[in-house]
Amino acid sequence: MQGLWLTLVFGLLLPGCANEKFRDQVEQTRTQAVDAAGTSADQPTEKDAAEATASMPADVTESTADGESSPMPKPIFADCETTPDRPIVGDLYQLHPDTKALPDFKKMKAIKKICLSQLDIKTRNFSEGFPGVEKLFEWFALDMRFAVNVPRSGKWEFKLVADDGAILYLDQDKLVDNDGQHETREKTGRSNLSAGVHNFRVSYFQGPRYNIALELYWKGPQDTEFTYIPATSMIRPDASLASGME
């Protein structure tokens, strides 16, 4: 717009210039002014760059200063065969609509195995489904197993947050019961544990769409607050536990 305005102004000046040398000077000045205006108009300002960054969707891969792309967030649920580093192995089941509580998995057949890195799913919308079962985002259950290397002996407290129902078993004993169809809710339980490896099982089900939540925290002797169980302390279970055997 600025270049167009300058072109019009100098276009009015040139016909009235009787002196040929002066006309050449005006023409040169016009050309330089228009070129400068066009260059500045084409260059994005710092404000333009900031506004463009702010409007970029959060799920778009961004480039770093050296031109490399930053990694996209990992999916919550993954195929176990392709993610051997994920310690939590779960059997995925489809439920009948209007299921009110966790079912008896011994009477059911699992669809497939799903693996997770951590039970840190805060309340969120879930509509993407599972690998190979993309349309399953409501009325499903996961029966998950993993082992944990407890660093020291003493009384440990656990907090289980879920939407809908979930139950925590520790070495086959039910420790925290947060079952039932409900919005995000937390329940806690305590257990005296010896240092070393212990077997964990978390059974979870999702009722009607869309929100899900599943978080497991622990607090050890002398700890002042709950934290997620560190990934370095979690171990993928052996074949017998992963297959659902007690």
Same-domain pairing of 233 and 129: yes
Mean pLDDT of 218-235: 96
235 band by pLDDT with thresholds 50, 70 and 90: very high
Q: Is there a domain that residue 69 lies in?
A: no
36 band by pLDDT with thresholds 50, 70 and 90: low
Predicted pLDDT at 238: 79
Q: Taking all residues of the chain, what is their mean pLDDT, rounded to a whole number? A: 81
How many CA atoms lie within 13 Å of 18's alpha carbon, on the beta-carbon side?
Answer: 0
Mean pLDDT of 241-246: 49
Same-domain pairing of 35 and 84: no
Q: Is the per-residue pLDDT at 64 higher than 70?
A: no
Q: Is there a domain that residue 47 lies in?
A: no
Same-domain pairing of 30 and 83: no
Mean pLDDT of 168-188: 97
> Which pTM value belongs to this model?
0.70
- Give the separation between CA 214 and CA 217, rounded to whole angstroms: 10
The full DSSP string for 109-123 is --SEEEEES-SEEEE
Q: Is there a domain that residue 221 lies in?
A: yes
Same-domain pairing of 154 and 209: yes
Mean pLDDT of 148-171: 98
Same-domain pairing of 30 and 87: no
Same-domain pairing of 11 and 94: no
Q: Is there a domain that residue 200 lies in?
A: yes
Same-domain pairing of 225 and 131: yes
Q: Is there a domain that residue 72 lies in?
A: no
Angle of CA points 189, 191, 196, to nearest 5°: 130
Q: Is there a domain that residue 215 lies in?
A: yes
**Number of compact structural domains in the chain:** 2
Same-domain pairing of 37 and 128: no
Same-domain pairing of 31 and 140: no
Same-domain pairing of 25 and 95: no
Contact 80, 115 (CB under 8 A): yes
Specify the CATH number for the domain of residue 121. 2.60.120.1560
Range with the poorest average pLDDT among 44-58, 63-77, 96-110: 44-58
Same-domain pairing of 148 and 220: yes
- Give the separation between CA 91 and CA 95, rounded to whole angstroms: 13
Domain of 13, in residue numbers: 2-42
Same-domain pairing of 115 and 221: yes
